Amino acid sequence: MSLFEICVDLFREESFLINKKYLKMKKLVFVTLLLVAFACKQENDFTAREINWDRDICALCLMGLAEQEYSVQAINKWGDVIWFDDLGCYVNYKDSEDWKRFAGDGETQAWIGHCETGKWIDAEKAYYRYGDRTPMGYGYGALQVANDSTYDYPATAQRIKDGKSMRDKFMKMHKMGESHKHEDGHKH
């Protein structure tokens, strides 16, 4: 008998009249199940995870993760993790319907690799320097401490949305590399 059926049965008049002993047992089972359900409620685990290099890919561009120093991971209240190979991918994904489904109405935590050590730091409390050569060419590397040439997360995210990144240069270089490969492949 399912938990739902037990609950329905508890409040049916015939159940009260038929067997008081059975009723007491059902109430005890119901209360026990409720206590177990509340006791099993887990605390949210927002600790940074380790990258599975052969499996984890960027949720936005679907590229394999290449460098922990620039990778971002976001964890939702259910403990699900999504990965990004560049801060720019994370920032752009946060505006998507997929992000809304992932985050729900709950809390999320994002971690980014420190651009010099690879150690996970809070992505939205980090400071960002501009000019790094990042996997997708946005050019922002995370630091734990601010300096004269860094931006906080809100300013960095806005800069990325405004197109203030190295992405255009990165894409031109990438296209040039592809055209050279194509030319090399057709030499006689």
Whether the Cβ atoms of residue 122 and residue 111 lie closer than 8 Å to each other: yes
Query: pTM to 2 decimals?
Result: 0.71
Percent helix, strand and coil across the chain, each to the nearest 5: 40, 15, 45
88 CB contacts (<8 Å, ≥6 apart)? 134, 136, 137, 138, 140, 160, 165, 167
Per-residue confidence (pLDDT) for residue 119, from 0 to 100: 98
Question: Can you give the pLDDT of all 188 residues of the chain as single tens digits?
Answer: 665 666 566 656 555 555 666 667 677 666 666 555 555 556 789 999 999 998 999 999 999 999 999 999 999 999 999 999 999 999 999 999 999 999 998 899 999 999 999 999 999 999 999 999 999 999 999 999 999 999 999 999 999 999 998 877 777 776 766 554 444 454 43
Q: Which two tokens stand for residue 94?
A: 């946060």
Distance CA 118, CA 65 (A): 13
Cβ atoms of 89 and 114 within 8 Å: the answer is no
Span 60-115, pLDDT tens digits: 999 999 999 999 999 999 999 999 999 999 999 999 999 999 999 889 999 999 99
Residues 73 and 110: beta-carbon distance below 8 Å: yes
